[in-house]
Amino acid sequence: MNFYFLDKFNKYLFDRIPILVVLFLFINILANIPSLDLLSDILSHFKIQYFYISIIFLIVTVYLTFFKRIFIIYATVAVITAVFNIFAMVHYFIPQETIKKKSELTIALSNVLTSNTNYHGLLDEINKHNPDIIVLQETDDIWLNNIKNLKENYPYNIEKYRFDNFGVALYSRIPLTGATIEKWTNLEVPVIKVSFKFNNQEIILYGIHTLPPTSIEYLNIRNEMLENIAHLANKFSNRNLIIVGDLNTTQYSYAFKKYITNSKLIDTQTANKIFRGTWNTRHFGFMRIALDHVLISQNLQCSQFKIGNNIGSDHFPIFVKITTKQ
């Protein structure tokens, strides 16, 4: 009887694994095409997940080789996809530059989700981590009214509420030497720009929430905003620049590599070897991807990148400690 069920189980695998492995290989090929098209962009974000799936396929196909030698071919494909995806994560294993202990600037970023009503969840996280600067995204007038007490401890602030998902706000306990709302692209997406002094140096900080690539139009606008970030990195190449926001892309996308990686900005999450994703809080941990970024110029350093607790949003908040090199 046991052999009967084993035979049925093996036949189930024999019929399906070849199709699944070939389909998985095809997905990996599409995910690695250096293209700005919508399908490649969406598939490109899951390199860590592809690695895990490759290992599962490897285990299953090695098991099946004991019954049919042809499955060596599929096991080889699993090895190739595993190696290919681990190479995409190689930067996680590069030793981080030694950071000299200085005064540190703590920045909080949270895409709060406009429809979320857990205002106290956000405030509790802020009280717990005690950041110097807070960048919030997806804030409407209701959100701003429910967190207005933040201004008691963060008297330097700038807010722009909207009734869609692109309201923005920034709160600082450090005096701001400049604070403006810029409007990017023809959709006039609000972007916060502030400047302030830290460790006797000027810091320029942008709070940016790009459009999600849910259509060709939105994909192109998101990419335009990423290109604008690259222009900022070039414009302020000799100054202290910090980009904070939900950029609706991961480090694995071709767009990120083209505009952000090539700009020489440092992704603080990668620099701190943090694999965990920040979106979507409703998914299991290994299925989350990192859409929320703090990017810094070469003359800044990040000593800590921490993902906070769930506040009811689809994004986890993040808390980053930054200092100057000189």
Mean pLDDT score, 106-121: 98
pLDDT reported for residue 236? 94
Residues 196 and 239 in one domain: yes
Residues 126 and 252 in one domain: yes
Residues 18 and 68 in one domain: yes
pLDDT reported for residue 174? 97
Residues 61 and 148 in one domain: no
Q: Is residue 68 part of a domain?
A: yes
Phi-psi region of 313 (alpha: psi -120 to 50; beta: other; left: phi over 0): beta
Residues 150 and 260 in one domain: yes
Residues 208 and 286 in one domain: yes
For residue 192, what is the domain's CATH number?
A: 3.60.10.10
Supply the DSSP symbol for 95: P
pLDDT band of 245, cuts 50, 70, 90: very high
φ, ψ dihedrals at 49, nearest 5°: -65, -40
Residue 206 contacts residue 232 (beta carbons within 8 Å) = yes
Beta strands 266-267; 292-296: pairing state: antiparallel
Supply the DSSP symbol for 92: G
Model confidence at 214: pLDDT above 90: yes
Residues 56 and 148 in one domain: no
Mean pLDDT score, 156-176: 96
pLDDT reported for residue 96? 64
SS3 assignment, position 238:
coil
Mean pLDDT score, 264-290: 92
Phi-psi region of 188 (alpha: psi -120 to 50; beta: other; left: phi over 0): left
Mean pLDDT score, 105-122: 97
Mean pLDDT score, 248-259: 96
Q: Is residue 94 part of a domain?
A: no
Residue 57 contacts residue 78 (beta carbons within 8 Å) = yes
pLDDT in tens, 12-56: 999 999 999 999 999 999 999 998 899 999 999 999 999 999 999
The tally of domains found in the chain comes to: 2
pLDDT in tens, 84-101: 899 888 777 776 666 665
Taking Cα atoms as reference points, which of 268, 295, 270, 290 lies closest to residue 280? 290
Compute CA 166 distance to the chain's CA centroid, rounded to the nearest angstrom: 17
Model confidence at 326: pLDDT above 80: no
Model confidence at 188: pLDDT above 80: yes
Q: Is residue 95 part of a domain?
A: no
Residues present in the chain in total: 326
Residues 204 and 240 in one domain: yes
pLDDT band of 1, cuts 50, 70, 90: very low
Q: Is residue 98 part of a domain?
A: no
Asked which of 88, 117, 146 is the last residue of a domain, the reply is 88
pLDDT in tens, 56-75: 999 999 999 999 999 999 99
Asked which of 88, 119, 148 is the last residue of a domain, the reply is 88
Model confidence at 210: pLDDT above 70: yes
pTM: 0.92
184: domain range? 105-324
